[in-house]
Amino acid sequence: MSVTMRDAIGKRLASIGHRRADLVVLDADVSSSTKSNYFAAEFPERFFNVGVAEANMVDMAAGLATCGFRPVVNAFAIFLALKGTDQARNVLCYNKLPVILLGAYAGLSDSFDGASHHAIADVSIMRSLPNMTVIVPSDNAEAEAALEAALDRNGPVYIRVNRNQVADLPAREAPFKIGKISKYREGSDLTIAASGICVAMALEAADRLRKVGVSAEVLNVATIKPIDIPSLSDSVRKTGRLVVAEEHTIVGGLAGACAEALASVPHVMDVVGLRDTFAESGPYDKLLEKYGISAAEIERKGLALVKVGKSSGGLS
């Protein structure tokens, strides 16, 4: 937690540059914000600052990828997801090209810049594209591991990168693997599936729930796509209850992915996330709280599910 997630990922990119001559990095005039400038300073000949033109940047990366390079594309997450979507879909995904999209300023983390800059629909957009892998890391270690894993993957990968310092999670049972859920807590009454900064909130909520006699299982669903259906369904079959927590709108992100994956598993479910609304400017922690993304909210929704029982026919 000593450095921001963007700093960690920027430095890791530069360090990978030393051992991978095929790594090329592109940025759309925000390299000092995304921190791709660390790579730029060390490898100027392999760094392309294309100006404020995300669409062109994504397709340039595609062209480089067809010729054996491994491009990493940087921009603010919401602008990459909105202005580079046609390119991500029709060029990267359709052709299964190994290009990594690093979406900086994930969720509400660019809090003061306001709704125009909040990435609250990037996961749902990227998730809807065939062949796209979508990763929402929960801490710096996971973000760096995701970047390394993405570089060995044969196809496009979208990775969300938080702007700020985020809490380091406890050590994992197993090394990070794309498509694998990490289980942080065993539980029997409730499953909490979380991504990004919400994993730390989920752990806090589980601690509080334990004090009132509720045993919550905590899953870190870093890979939103392809989602780890076996781990998710095993857990929810056991608990019968699911709270999904994500720094995203409740439309089509992790909650949608879980609902699709669990369509044939009887369970009750609720979602902690931004309602179908824009947020506003303000301090990051206050914004998260105001828009209902917090450990307290996970706890509240988890308790409510426990009260209604397992798939008992609706919530009160």
Partner 1 sequence: MGKYVESILAAKDMDRRVALSRALSMRIRVEMLDILHDKGTGHWGGASSACDLVTALYFLRLNIDPAVPTKVDRDRFILSKGHASLLLYEVLAHRGYFEPALVHSFRDIDSKLQGHPCMHKTPGVDMSTGALGHGLSVGVGMALAARLSGRKYWTYVMVGEGCLDEGQSWEAIMSAAKYRPERLVLLVDNNGVQLDGPSAEIMPLGSISEKLIAFGWNVAPGCYDGHDFNSIVKSFEWLDVPGPWPKAIVYSTVKGKGVSFMEGKNKWHGSPIDDDTWNKARPELVAALEDAEATL
Q: Are 166 and 140 in contact (CB under 8 A)?
A: yes
Strand partners, 272: 245
Give min distance, CB of 178 to partner 1, in A: 22
| Residue 100 to residue 102: CA distance in whole angstroms | 6
Q: Pick from 16, 60, 178, 192: which binds partner 1 (CB under 8 A)?
A: 60
Retrieve residue 32's tokens: 């000092």
Q: Within positions 76 to 115, which residues make up the interface with partner 1, using CB under 8 A?
A: 86-87, 90-91, 94-96
* Binding status of residue 64 toward partner 1 by CB under 8 A: yes
CA dist., res. 164 & res. 200, Å (int): 14
By DSSP bridging, strand 182-185 and strand 216-220 are antiparallel
Residue 61 within binding range of partner 1, rule CB under 8 A: yes
Report the nearest approach of partner 1 to the CB of residue 143 (Å).
26
Binding status of residue 226 toward partner 1 by CB under 8 A = no
Among 2, 19, 45, 173, binds partner 1 (CB under 8 A): 45
**Interface with partner 1 (CB under 8 A), residue from 46, 163, 185, 301:** 46
Residue closer to partner 1 by CB (options 50, 298) is 50
Token pair, residue 87, equals 């390119």
What is the residue type of 5?
M
The alpha carbon torsion through 288, 175, 21, 9 (nearest 10 deg) reads: 20
Tell the smallest beta-carbon distance from residue 303 to partner 1 (Å). 48
**The binder of partner 1 chosen from 2, 68, 174, 264 (CB under 8 A):** 68
Q: How far apart are CA 171 and CA 37, in angstroms?
A: 29
Residue among 68, 83, 91 at smallest CA distance from 28: 83
**Least separation in angstroms between CB 179 and partner 1:** 22
Size of the site for partner 1 (CB under 8 A): 29
Q: Which is nearer to partner 1, 155 or 292 (CB)?
A: 155
CA distance 151 to 5: 18
Contacts with partner 1, residue ranges (CB under 8 A): 24, 45-46, 48, 50-51, 53, 55-56, 58-69, 71, 86-87, 90-91, 94-96
